């Protein structure tokens, strides 16, 4: 963790405060600094956002832009089925999601410039910045993820976690670096996500970063809080932004550790077994269920990355149809359909934006390994809730699903539209740690046809 001041320049008061937090045994990371005042922007239609990121590149042709009239080498092995959205078919292996399509907008004309590097495509999809085939892992000068931007510009109330990513720190290949697009980048590590990296499907699941140290009861913690307060009052009176921020972090740390609401969100064992089964008893289904619970506990943005590394799940260069049929689509069908249904039934879908995104699509032509390769020229995404027009299809691909037939859309357009719905101007200026200005998403447009 890098601090804004070197140790040599810290005062006795600053060191005591940081040491005091350490004495608590707190492992709550830099996200606690996300306490900026709200910034004026468009009136938000959504209070929260869940991003389900199908990491690796899901096949649009085998999910929701099928070409049943095409030749076998393009249409593949699956049959389409009707959905609850009149005139729109989806894959036969998405039967439950088919019944939720009337809640959604399906965009079938996505495209960007990246066809080789997963890292660069993920970065474009999540930040809206298409920098071409510039691969590699996350860098300090990257543009920030939506969760980081919202943590700064629309901070949550005390006792909540503003931005959470789960269940993996997805790598660029099994031995590769952390993919870009999930961190705060030039905004500084203060706004990085709170990572939940334990498997929520295991009986022993708990979030260690939100647990009190062993043997430290709440009464003892409150006593330490009083001691720290006394130390602060007894030290020399001085005030600067760093010290004020440390006060905020200390307060938020205590709030989180004593907040029943925050603690309850992670207690998946309080959910009925029938609900957990409905989402799917696997790491991804339970992560989506956890995302719903976190939004209910006032987290602003939850990003769920569906892969431990880029080649592990949706990157179906080989055995595309077997992987989709036996593993990927059934798990996704259960998790996504349950999320949309629960949010709709509870009345939360109106104020919760759900975005099902991916790095790119897959080739129209099936390769010699019964797989499909990367395809950036045209692919599909799904949006729902939070001010998105329900029961709508935007754009279309050609007869092979190879290029947009009309209304092409870039990731920047989608990210700008997501910001609009969440009450952030995508032309807003953010400042890096050297106080240099950066536009949130400069080369993008809001797609007003998607808005309810």
Neighbouring-strand partners of residue 165: 195, 303
pLDDT digits (tens, 9 = 90+) for 86-144: 999 999 999 999 999 999 999 999 999 999 999 999 999 999 999 999 889 999 999 99
The answer to whether residue 434 scores a pLDDT higher than 70 is yes
Domains belonging to the chain, first-starting first, are 19-450 (3.40.720.10)
- DSSP H helical ranges for 259-361: 260-265, 273-279, 283-296, 320-323, 329-346
Structure tokens at 128: 């809206």
pLDDT digits (tens, 9 = 90+) for 163-174: 999 999 999 999
Whole-number percent of the chain with pLDDT over 90: 75
Chain-centre distance of CA 189, in angstroms?
17
Mean of the per-residue pLDDT values for the chain? 86
pLDDT at 135: 86
**pLDDT band at 209, cuts 50/70/90?**
low
Contact 384, 82 (CB under 8 A): no
Q: What is the mean pLDDT of residues 412-425?
A: 98
Rounded CA-CA distance 127/415 in Å is: 7
Contact 201, 285 (CB under 8 A): yes
Q: Is 185 left (phi over 0), alpha (psi -120 to 50) or beta?
A: left
Contact 235, 16 (CB under 8 A): yes
pLDDT digits (tens, 9 = 90+) for 3-57: 333 333 333 333 344 444 444 433 444 444 433 445 568 999 999 999 999 999 9
Higher-scoring residue by pLDDT: 249, 57: 57
Minimum mean pLDDT among 49-63, 209-223, 267-281: which range?
Answer: 209-223
Residue 104 has a CB neighbour count (10 Å cut-off) of 27
The answer to whether residue 145 scores a pLDDT higher than 60 is yes
**pLDDT band at 206, cuts 50/70/90?**
confident
pLDDT digits (tens, 9 = 90+) for 335-373: 999 999 999 999 999 999 999 999 999 999 999 999 999
Phi, psi of 386 (to 5 degrees): 55, 35
Q: What is the mean pLDDT of residues 378-400?
A: 98
- Evaluate the CA torsion angle 384, 390, 391, 394 in order and state its sign: negative
Rounded CA-CA distance 272/292 in Å is: 15
Q: What is the mean pLDDT of residues 259-287?
A: 92
Quick one: angle between helices 411-421 and 146-153, nearest 10? 30
pLDDT at 261: 75
The answer to whether residue 177 scores a pLDDT higher than 60 is yes
Q: What is the mean pLDDT of residues 299-307?
A: 98
């Amino acid at each position: 963790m890098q601090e804004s001041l070197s140790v040599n320049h810290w005062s006795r008061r600053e060191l005591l405060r940081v040491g005091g937090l350490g004495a608590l045994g707190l492992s709550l990371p830099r996200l606690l600094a996300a306490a900026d005042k709200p910034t004026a922007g468009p009136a938000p239609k959504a209070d929260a956002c869940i991003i389900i990121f199908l990491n690796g590149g899901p096949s649009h042709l085998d999910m929701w832009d099928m070409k049943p009239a095409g030749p076998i080498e393009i249409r593949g092995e699956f049959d389409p089925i009707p959905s609850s959205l009149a005139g729109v078919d989806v894959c036969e292996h998405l039967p439950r999601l088919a019944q939720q399509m009337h809640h959604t907008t399906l965009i079938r004309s996505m495209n960007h410039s990246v066809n080789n590097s997963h890292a660069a495509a993920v970065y474009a999809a999540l930040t809206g910045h298409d920098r071409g085939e510039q691969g590699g892992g996350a860098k300090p000068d990257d543009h920030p993820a939506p969760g980081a931007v919202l943590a700064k510009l629309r901070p949550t109330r005390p006792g909540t976690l503003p931005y959470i990513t789960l269940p993996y720190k997805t790598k660029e290949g099994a031995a590769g670096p952390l993919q870009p697009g999930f961190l705060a980048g030039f905004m500084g590590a203060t706004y990085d996500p709170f990572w939940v990296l334990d498997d929520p499907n295991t009986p022993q699941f708990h979030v260690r970063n939100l647990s009190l140290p062993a043997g430290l009861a709440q009464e003892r913690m409150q006593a330490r809080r009083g001691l720290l307060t006394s130390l602060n009052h007894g030290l020399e009176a001085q005030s600067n932004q760093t010290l004020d921020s440390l006060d905020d972090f200390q307060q938020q740390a205590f709030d989180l550790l004593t907040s029943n609401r925050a603690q309850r969100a992670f207690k998946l064992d309080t959910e009925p077994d029938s609900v957990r089964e409905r989402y799917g008893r696997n790491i991804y289904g339970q992560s989506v269920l956890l995302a719903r619970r976190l939004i209910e506990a006032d987290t602003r943005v939850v990003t769920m990355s569906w892969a431990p590394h880029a080649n592990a799940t949706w990157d179906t260069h080989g055995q595309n149809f077997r992987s989709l049929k036996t593993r990927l689509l059934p798990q996704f069908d259960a998790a996504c359909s349950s999320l949309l249904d629960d949010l709709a039934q509870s009345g939360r879908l109106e104020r919760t934006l759900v975005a099902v995104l991916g790095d790119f699509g897959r080739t129209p032509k099936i390769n010699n390994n019964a797989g499909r390769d990367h395809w950036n020229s045209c692919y599909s995404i799904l949006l729902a809730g939070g001010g998105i027009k329900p029961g709508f299809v935007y754009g279309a691909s050609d007869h092979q699903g190879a290029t947009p037939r009309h209304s092409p859309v870039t990731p920047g357009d989608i990210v700008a539209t997501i910001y609009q719905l969440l009450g952030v101007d995508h032309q807003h200026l953010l400042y890096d740690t050297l106080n240099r200005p950066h536009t949130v998403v400069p080369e993008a447009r809001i797609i007003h046809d998607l808005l309810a």
